[in-house]
Chains A and B, each alone.
Chain A
Amino acid sequence: MSINIEMVDKKAPISGEIRMSTRDLSLFYGNFQALRKITLDIPENAITAVIGPSGCGKSTFLRLFNRMNDLITGVRVEGRVELDGVDIYGKDIDVVELRKRVGMVFQKPNPFPMSVFENVAFGPKRHGKKNRLELEDIVEKSLKQAALWDEVKDKLNQSALALSGGQQQRLCIARVLAVEPEVILMDEPCSALDPQATLRIEDLMRSLAENYTIVIVTHNMQQAARASDMSAFFMMEEDRAGILVERGPTAEIFTNPKDKRTEDYITGRFG
């Protein structure tokens, strides 16, 4: 697998502000340890890619940042996950408020079985916005931000399930944008899409990164190389999952990996 690194070099330098971070973070499903003492910083207004083979704990790691793992019984977390320096697993944390600030886009597009409009307005409505005009503004703005407005402006009242897969995924991004999050988590957002739709999502991610902090889990090495500023490489060894092998600017990870395992993985020697 050859990696085209031209795009990597063009990217703006990272400002260096840390938005989210983990400190010695371990996670257990019952007796199984899925993440091992992970310490990683997520820089502001940049795209951080989490890469690694299937089953290495990437998605579990991503779901820490909006506490989506809470839904699974038997999950135990040790260590800290911080948003602006505050431990989001602390006692006084309101998970609903956290998820407003840290939105999530899933692997399979999951628009609700409602109209396009209602999908985007769903979050704002739940947070108490009832004024129709205000909701219309939010919907239009979010769809424009998600580069979907021109395609759906004449079918806002049609079922979201009638859209194509790529459109559905951009709709899901618009749904998250509508609640004005600060961080957007993306769990393999393109794995169910064709190459063209994938490129559109990547372009969208680049434009969103100007204002949002993005963390993306991806299987696709070219995607990480093309679209991300920072990369973190996770892997598993024998029966030990959730090891963070290497992290750093994407250009460095892909051109000059320090760890032999990273190099083997990105050059396609395993995984």
Chain B
Amino acid sequence: MTTRTGAASRQISQQVAYGFLIAATAVVVIPVLVIIIQIVVIGADAISCDFLSQAPSQAGKAGGIFPAILGTFYLMLGTIIVALPVGVLAGVYLSEYARDNWLTRTVNMAIVNLAGVPSIVYGLFGLGVFVLMFHFGMSLLSASLTLACQALAMTVTTSREAILAVPREYREGSLAVGSTRWQTIRHIVLPQAMPGIITGAVLAMSRAAGETAPILVVGAAFFLPGLPHSPFDQFMALPYHLYTVAAHIPGMSRTTIWGVALVLLAVVLSFNVLATIIRLRSRKRRYST
């Protein structure tokens, strides 16, 4: 009798725990689903050829968002042109050359923590350094450099990890035939680490696409009469456009707001999916010989 009640109470506590776990997971998943469904359902009506290819008019109430899409792509491009090479070179130095001492460990920790710095702080840094000190002005260049500084935390860390994951046997095999250290890095280590490095770079780009706060203070504009023609021009960008139409333009149609959100989400998610594909493909290549 006692054993039977013991078993029953164990059964109950098992089910209670199970219920809590399911509930917690639902709390995580449901809001994401609701947001995505809402964006897609409402925003889809706004999407049209004109919406994607025309400039906005009447403060964004009419016309399209093409300049913002283009500006965001320019930003991603500018960010990665700076953040990828610097990140890879720093990653090579930190993993292959730097001695393992307190200074290196401190630098590594600082880089990891850079990712946790609020993005508006990067914005202020960019305003002070690129806009004012270097006189790049409120421009695509200043914004790209600012976002690149923020992206570096990610590109350095992922490069370093991808390089460290290259098996020691490969390096030794290369050194044992009289290759220099740099030749070993250039011809063995970097090609092996490349999928990991690219994955990190793509994720860094997708984050740069979504940043709003830093670009606000270093060059994004809500409306410009023309497209940017040089890195020193101001630009429009999707997240800032979304913020403005959603919060500052009275009488904005809900459809347009959600339409902008849908385009931004599509850009960011497609880059995340791309990163996942690169990672999976390289993993497959590594294990199927």
- A-side residues, CB < 8 A to B, are 66, 68, 71, 73, 96-100, 103-106, 108, 110-113, 122-123, 126-127, 159, 161-162, 172, 175-176, 178-179
Contact = CB atoms under 8 A, between A and B. Distances in A.
Interface residues of B, number: 21
Given A73-B100, A112-B188, A126-B183, A106 B174 contact: no
B173 interface: yes
Contacts of B173: 106, 110-112, 172, 175
Nearest to B183: A126
Given A104-B172, A113-B192, A178-B177, 9 more contacts: A66-B176, A106-B176, A112-B173, A113-B170, A122-B179, A123-B178, A123-B179, A162-B289, A175-B177
Interface string B157-178: 0000000000101111111111
Interface of B: 99-100, 167, 169-180, 183, 187-188, 192, 286, 289
Contacts of B177: 99-100, 103, 122-123, 126, 175-176, 178-179
10 contacts: A66-B176, A106-B172, A112-B188, A122-B179, A123-B177, A126-B183, A126-B187, A127-B178, A161-B289, A179-B178
Nearest to B286: A113
A100 B179 CA distance: 8
Contacts of A98: 178
B169 A126 contact: no
Interface centre among B173, B174, B178 (most CB of A within 10 A): B178
B169 A71 contact: no
B174 A112 contact: yes
Contacts of B99: 73
Contact of A110 (B172, B180, B286): B172
A96 B178 contact: yes
A99 B171 CA distance: 13
B176 A126 contact: no
A98 B180 CA distance: 11
Contacts of B179: 96, 122-123, 126
A99 B172 CA distance: 11
Nearest to A108: B169
Nearest to A100: B178
B289 A110 contact: no
A39 to B, nearest CB: 25
A175 B176 CA distance: 10
Given A73-B99, A99-B178, A110 B192 contact: no
Contacts of A161: 289
B107 to A, nearest CB: 17
Contact of B187 (A73, A103, A122): A122
A192 to B, nearest CB: 11
Given A73-B99, A126-B187, A162-B289, A110 B170 contact: yes
B289 A71 contact: no
A112 B173 CA distance: 8
A80 to B, nearest CB: 22
Contacts of B176: 66, 68, 99, 103-106, 176
Contacts of B192: 113
Contact of A68 (B169, B175, B187): B175
Nearest to A109: B169
B100 to A, nearest CB: 6
A266 to B, nearest CB: 30
Nearest to A107: B169
Contacts of A100: 177-178
Given A73-B99, A108-B169, A110-B169, A122 B289 contact: no
Most chain A CB within 10 A, of B100, B167, B174, B286, is at: B174
A59 B174 CA distance: 18
Nearest to B168: A71
Contacts of B183: 126
Nearest to A113: B192
Contact of A112 (B170, B180, B289): B170
Contacts of A103: 176-178
Contacts of A122: 174, 177, 179, 187
A159 B285 CA distance: 11
Contacts of B172: 68, 71, 104, 106, 110
B170 to A, nearest CB: 6
B174 to A, nearest CB: 7
A86 B167 CA distance: 33
